[in-house]
Amino acid sequence: MKHRALLLLLPLLAALWPLAPAVTADGAMWNATAVGEVGYLPLEDLRSFYKFMSLPPKGEGTIAIGNGAVSLVFGPDARELRINGCRFLLSHPARRDAVQGLLVSKTDMVKLIDPVLRPTYIANRRLVKTVIIDPAHGGHDTGTVTAYAREADIALLVALKLRAELTSRGYHVVLTHEDNRYLSDQQRVDCAARELNPIFLSLHLNSGRSDIRGAETYTVVPCEPDEKKPLPGNENDAANAALAAALQASLVNRAGAKDGGCRRAHYSLLSSLRCPAVMAELGYATNREEGEQLMTEAYQTKLAQALADGVDAFAAVMNPESTLKASPKPVVQEAPAPARVEPGKQQAPKAVKTTVAQGKKPAKKPAAPAKKPVVPAKKPAPQKR
């Protein structure tokens, strides 16, 4: 599936900003109704807020809203959302109410939908100058190894190509390691802590059933709006969502990867980083066709270029001087002390069982300053990827 998104997901979101007021960072303006322990909002509130219209369903079991330039399609799976065709997995399943219609969690509204639609409203956005690239595994830790592909080797090869590409575009680039060596999660976190306001990209290959393929982008599970003890990684929940959206859209649009969606997980590395961070699963080493493709230099180059384009897209909307100033200019601070990585059980990534929703809306070019988009999830103990 081709998405019309160019930079982030929706550079066309300029059409939104004169219509929808700023959402406060904690979502205080939204009056949620509790369903169990989760606060939910009627989709009608979201539709009214953004001045969207109800759209015809994009397949059986779906509900769609939009404005001609932007479309949001919920379903058919309760956790699935597509924004202009790009796939996201919600933190909490959407619910259907006999009186209020479809209900969407406040967490997903505040920490996924609004940051993806309007990234220029992210409160703590700051200029992106430094990119940390983290090739997965290394040394004795080979990651996923199949007859088609070796995770640690391919992650390092793509990382080296990505460093060259980003350096040529003017970024300061740091690799956590540039040869085949093992680093603990704590060493990777320490590497990020030495830099001022970086973003962190951890590169992996996925594993699963032999018939599953596609790129997936993970962020730490966002904390709930009333969370009393968020993890260090939750300091950037909104920016994490925007970064994931930019990278995933680019992997699909530019590299031609199948869209496995933007997802969330409690990996110890993501939970411990105090900067915007994602884990990019570039494809499935357990799928023969995709594994053999991942082994080719041509596709590795295409992946590196797509990731660099995603970084550019994210950097464009994070620059406080280049877009609508919806929040105070961030105060420059010294790099924070590194977080301690919680010990977690080593675990290979598992495919999330979801049903693919259908439908997308063609995007249009904006005429005014753009606003753009990002995502959330639930929270067990950190696991180590």
**Mean pLDDT rounded to a whole number for the chain:** 82
Cite the beta strand spans of 33-90 per DSSP E.
33-35, 38-42, 53-55, 63-66, 71-74, 80-83, 86-89
Lowest mean pLDDT among 6-15, 20-29, 34-43, 95-104: 6-15
**What is the tens place of the pLDDT at every residue in 36-54?**
889 999 999 999 999 999 9
Q: Are strands 198-206 and 130-135 parallel, antiparallel or unpaired?
A: parallel
350 pLDDT above the threshold of 90: no
Report the candidate in 50, 103, 37 with the shortest Cα–Cα distance to residue 75: 103
**What is the tens place of the pLDDT at every residue in 95-110?**
999 999 999 999 999 9
**CA dihedral sign of residues 315, 247, 375, 378:** negative
Grade residue 378 by pLDDT with cuts at 50, 70 and 90.
Answer: very low
Domains belonging to the chain, first-starting first, are: 11-121 (3.30.457.10), 130-318 (3.40.630.40)
- Other CB atoms within 10 A of residue 182 CB: 13
Lowest mean pLDDT among 6-10, 158-162, 167-171, 183-187: 6-10
**What is the tens place of the pLDDT at every residue in 104-141?**
999 999 999 999 999 988 987 899 999 999 999 999 99
Lowest mean pLDDT among 40-49, 240-249, 302-311, 331-340: 331-340
Q: What pLDDT is recorded for position 301? A: 98
Q: Which neighbouring-strand residues pair with 344? A: none
Q: What pLDDT is recorded for position 21? A: 62
Q: Which neighbouring-strand residues pair with 83? A: 72, 86
381 pLDDT above the threshold of 60: no
Q: What pLDDT is recorded for position 323? A: 53
Please indicate whether residue 81 or residue 68 has the higher confidence score (pLDDT): 81
Grade residue 229 by pLDDT with cuts at 50, 70 and 90.
Answer: confident
Strand order in the sheet with 172-175: 53-55, 63-66, 71-74, 80-83, 86-89, 259-265, 215-220, 277-284, 198-206, 130-135, 172-175
SS3 label, residue 33: strand
334 burial (CB, 10 Å; 0-12 / 13-18 / 19+) is exposed
Please indicate whether residue 25 or residue 88 has the higher confidence score (pLDDT): 88
8 pLDDT above the threshold of 60: no
Grade residue 280 by pLDDT with cuts at 50, 70 and 90.
Answer: very high
**What is the tens place of the pLDDT at every residue in 242-253?**
999 999 999 999
Distance CA 338, CA 186 (A): 9
366 pLDDT above the threshold of 60: no
**What is the tens place of the pLDDT at every residue in 205-226?**
999 999 999 999 999 999 987 7
Q: What pLDDT is recorded for position 322? A: 60
**What is the tens place of the pLDDT at every residue in 181-201?**
999 999 999 999 999 999 999
Q: What pLDDT is recorded for position 23? A: 54
**What is the tens place of the pLDDT at every residue in 75-88?**
999 999 999 999 99
Q: Decide if 109 contacts 172 (C-beta within 8 A).
A: no
1 pLDDT above the threshold of 60: no
Distance CA 237, CA 222 (A): 6
Mean pLDDT of 227-245: 92
Mean pLDDT of 238-244: 96
